[in-house]
Structure 1
């Protein structure tokens, strides 16, 4: 009788595994860049001919060395050989085989090997490459996801997003080879990468990397490139956020006087942060057309909303130069002065003014806890404490809410707590006996 199956063999990327140590490094790298798998044929009952069955990888290509991959696939090969000799058939129900033959002889596969091999074939039909197809590599898949995300993210957000995706792709290529199929990445592998990010940087960076990767993998799942977003199940780590410190009254006067004497453009930039309570990057987004001097309004894109309207207080209008004849499409703040073209990213613009302010910090010996954002904290604190002198706390916060631009009272109260704006009255009398 003709044999029902061919002997399971291991494909090692076109290289001879037995003479691996003698191969040139380039051939080794090229081989590891390809998928390794166990393959075999089984006689099709309908035709009586041997038919190539789905390749069995079982996560072998997660390993980055020949030794690890080959050892993993050898185990699969041994298990499959045992099962085939015991009567396993990819065309039949193997339930009875599991109950009768497992663990009855030395060298039997672990319980569940039949289901594992069958599942591998099923997955290959849904998320893996079919015979003759080119697998979707990690780099290619990430680029595909990035091209989609680029249309939904702001420029400043996409730059960081793309950078984190690129670093992850480079890590995967270095660890498992550039040709690793994206469908083979699992939760454990992503966790290993995030743990390395944590050790190298901080919990905050690790959480940011996790969030961006989860968004990318969700895009791949939505477009049926992968079956499941494995990053979604990875929890965030608790972090201790770092915030810019509020200036004391004396320090504030010293900082502003130094800026006034040496950098009038930076002073006006600071005034927008201080009087309109804008974030530095929001000031960088302002164009001439966004400033309505007649109606005393400014229009901006914020962190949470596409468009927002805020009033321009008279104290700021008095310091604003005449912009009526400037090109409406020009940016309000540029390195050369007010109103001009500035073709660079928002991140670079914010970084430019941060560096200008760094000169002031260095002269005064201020640490990294003080920044442009500190002016926003300081002036909101001043405004709240003045309002709280004449009004109950809730009324003061209600008046402050539309000025700061926070979306809810809860958000404002949390912000005030974070910057220590709300302090109790002197409680010395409580210690008196």
Structure 2
């Protein structure tokens, strides 16, 4: 039998095409290097998993050391292991398996090309041609130290991965919650140092503390984001499984922004017309263009097409969405040509300008301003906010449209205005805000 370990030790990186079919179930994990966090007194190695043909499950194969641990500098040791890793990956892609005799496969591939002698610099380790070192001894598995990553480094790795694929706001939310979790962990379980020590029980304990101090909704948000970050660790085989997925979500009753009555909405607009025109224009973008408050905060001067009277913005359900600006709103806009195209449309106390503040902070600025200038004056409860104007005007639009057409036709027209991606999503939204009400059914209740 051809010794799989010897092949990796002395073989060089061939140039054969990969025999691995991406449409089939992957038989092996990508080989990785374990560097013991830079500790040269410990063994460094390459490790990977391979699907056991009997069980059908991925099994961790004995890590491969080769001659790497003979070298006394990090650079030399890493260079050797990097070559081993490349060689191992190439052989796995060609079909070599630690669970079978590879002699026939090796012979067929070996006959295709003549293999040169490779020298690694600066280590200067000669890698002999594989045919010179074939042995018939079987693989002997040994117990070795599994790679144990520091828990802080593990979460830093996962967060850095997330940073590449999510928005700045989403990444910041992930990081803030992970920081809170690690701070709690350090305080309540100071002996936990490695990621493999983290358990479902400990995470459950943390989520219970969040529930006690805040709310079920906040607890669920922590659970969701912890699960998303820890999933990265599972995908990269830093942990065996994402145990957070097994923690149940608590049932909650979401807070809902109520719609304003016609009288209240008109009174608010009149009050702001006299006292805070910047906040009034901000609200009109929510009311007339049906944007969400955070979408309004993102707007820049260059996002408004003056010639076509349209606006482009990053929406909740789309990276870039275009809407018309209704005449009712367009007439309230100042001369936009006087501003720098990169200026924010809403820059604190003024229209147009630079504002060095994070997106969430800008949104909070207008929320607090609305609370101070409007909610306190009109004695509005917690159910009323900036978002309520969006609900109010979508309700107005739907009820006006349904007077002139069937409910389906009204919703079809409304979808173009609101930006909902599907009819079912719009219908759910209309139900949630009670925009769709039945006609009077008194006649049905009369005794006949």
Tell me the equivalent position of 2:416.
Answer: 402
Shift of residue 271, structure 1, vs aligned partner = 0.6
Alignment pair present for 1:420 and 2:445: no
Q: After alignment, is 153-162 or 302-311 more displaced?
A: 153-162
TM-score normalized by the length of structure 2: 0.66
CA-to-partner distance for each residue in 1:387-433, whole Å, 9 max, x for gaps? 11111111110110110000100000000000000011112222222
- Aligned mate of 1:183, from 188, 196, 202: 196
Q: Report the counterpart of residue 160 of structure 1 in structure 2.
A: 173
Partner of 1:279: 292
Write out aligned runs for 1:84-233 (5 A): 125-126=145-146, 128-129=147-148, 136-177=149-190, 180-233=193-246
Residues 331 and 339 of structure 1 are in contact (CA less than 8 Å); yes or no, is this contact kept in structure 2?
A: yes
C-alpha distance in structure 1 between counterparts of 2:370 and 2:169, whole Å: 21
Counterpart residue number, 2:127: none
Do residues 293 (structure 1) and 339 (structure 2) align? no
SS in 1 for 2:209: helix
Aligned to 1:368, which of 382, 389, 401? 382
Partner of 1:429: 443
Structure 1 window deviating more from structure 2 (155-164 vs 240-249): it is 155-164
Contact 2:301 2:344 in 1 (8 A): yes
For the 8 Å contact 2:174–2:229, the answer to whether it is kept is no
Matched, 1:303 2:316: yes
| Cα distance in 2 for residues equivalent to 1:339 and 1:151 | 31
- 1:359-413 deviation digits (Å, cap 9, x = unpaired): 2110111111110000000000000001111111111101101100001000000
Q: Distance in 2 between matches of 1:259 and 1:253?
A: 10
Q: In the alignment, what sits opposite 2:369?
A: 356
Superposed, 1:250-265 pairs within 5 Å as: 250-265=263-278
Alpha-carbon distance, 1:178 to partner: 6.2
| Alpha-carbon displacement from aligned partner over 1:328-373 (angstroms, at most 9, x marks no partner) | 1111101131111111111000000111111211011111111000
Contact in 1 for aligned 2:192/2:198 (Cα 8 Å): no
CA distance in 1: counterparts of 2:336 and 2:249, whole angstroms: 47
Q: CA deviation at 1:254?
A: 1.3
Q: Is the 8 A contact 1:277 1:380 kept in 2?
A: yes
- SS of equivalent to 1:333: strand
Q: Residue 323 of structure 1 corresponds to which residue in structure 2? A: 336
Counterpart CA distance in 2 for 1:178 and 1:204 is 30
Task: Structure 1: give runs of 5+ residues left out of the alignment.
Answer: 1-120, 130-135
Q: Distance in 1 between matches of 2:173 and 2:273?
A: 34
CA–CA separation in structure 2 for the residues paired with 1:196 and 1:138: 20
Shift of 1:233: 1.9
CA contact (8 A) 2:208 2:219 kept: yes
Contact 2:286 2:390 in 1 (8 A): yes
1:388 aligns with 2:402: yes
- 2:156 alignment partner, SS class: helix
Equivalenced residue count is 305
Gaps of 5+ in 2: 1-141
Shift of 1:236: 1.5
Q: Equivalents in 1 of 2:249, 2:320: separation in Å?
A: 31
SS at match of 2:322: strand
Residue 237 (structure 1) aligns with:
250
Relative to the length of structure 1, the TM-score reads 0.68
* Counterpart for residue 66 of structure 2: none
After superposition, what is the alpha-carbon deviation per residue over 1:160-211, rounded to whole angstroms, capped at 9, x for unaligned? Answer: 2211111111111112216521111111211111122122211111111011
Where does 1:39-54 land on structure 2 (aligned, <5 Å)? Answer: none
Inter-partner Cα distance in structure 1 for 2:439 and 2:145 = 70
Contact residue 330 and residue 341 of structure 1 kept, 8 A: yes
Aligned equivalents of 1:412 and 1:226: distance in 2?
40
Q: For 1:284 and 1:178, how far apart are their aligned partners in 2?
A: 44
What's the Cα RMSD here?
A: 1.5
SS at match of 2:319: coil
